[in-house]
Structure 1
Amino acid sequence: MTLVFPETRTQDIRTALLGRREELESEYTATVAEMTLAGVVDAGDDVADLGTKAFNREQEFALAVSIRNRMDQVDRALERLDAGHYGTCETCAGEIPVARLAAFPSVTLCVACKSRSESRY
């Protein structure tokens, strides 16, 4: 079953998703820029400084990957909106509650399927 949203609602969803995509893009760009600046090794660095810089780079890299994953989720939600599958669970094809979509516009799984996927890890 696919949720059918009125055209104005679809446009509101698209606008919200595109706005979120822009926010994430800015955050990603800033994070990557910080990574390139923070990775510079100074000739005066001792072992502790190098370790701290390596740790910080790993943290920034993990943050960048997380932001990139969220951007991909938004992109997938936009594709599903265009294809008419927005609001339908990717796993069970059940309807995702509107309240869940309002809270997490890029969500692609219903609560039950999301819970099952997380319990596997």
Structure 2
Amino acid sequence: MGTNDLSPAAAKELAARLPVLDGEDAWTAEEVIGVREDLIAEIERMRRAVEASDAELEQLMGEGSDTSGKDPGDVGSTNFERDQELSMNANARTLLEQNEAALRRLEAGEFGTCENCGNPIGKARMEVFPKATMCVRCKQRAERR
């Protein structure tokens, strides 16, 4: 499917395959299209963030590591700035990968299934946090470890 529009018929068929918790309404084609569009927009936003961060890192790394004759405070500040940019770059890449994985799961009809126990994650949770890969119970167990 990729970034092409999802036809209403395909969205309806996909919605019928997505799991929900007991008591939740089934996914609608419109909801599937909305979540998909949100994921695609977030992926594009994160790609731009990664590109900007890559450019910033390239500039920071291009300043060289020659510290001779430089004020120690300036060297420390430059090193701190590089570390911060590296951290932000890694975070942006992680978020990009999580959103791309969520889109793949959605398009494969696996969206909303806990990767740990195989039970539904819950429609409400997926609408708020579409990158979720675990139900609340499994996520809480994983965080306690």
Shorter-chain TM range is: 0.7 to 0.9
2:105 to 74, 80, 87: 80
What residue is the counterpart of 1:13 in the other structure? 35
Runs of 4+ in 1 over 6 A off after TM superposition: none
What residue is the counterpart of 2:128 in the other structure? 103
Q: Distance in 1 between matches of 2:27 and 2:128?
A: 17
Percentage of pairs with the same residue: 34
The structure whose RCO (Cα within 8 Å, separation 6+) is larger is 1
CA-based RMSD:
2.1
State the Cα distance separating 1:78 from its structure 2 match: 1.0
Q: Distance in 2 between matches of 1:94 and 1:15?
A: 25
Partner AA of 2:135 in structure 1: C
Partner AA of 1:53 in structure 2: T
What residue is the counterpart of 2:87 in the other structure? 62
TM, length-normalised to structure 1: 0.85
Give a deviation string over 1:50-87, Cα, whole Å, max 9, x none: 22211211111111111111111111111111111101
What residue is the counterpart of 2:5 in the other structure? none
Partner AA of 1:49 in structure 2: D
TM, length-normalised to structure 2: 0.73
Q: Distance in 2 between matches of 1:117 and 1:47?
A: 43
**Gap regions ≥5 residues in structure 2:** 1-16, 20-25
Partner AA of 1:18 in structure 2: I
**Which structure has the larger Rg?**
2
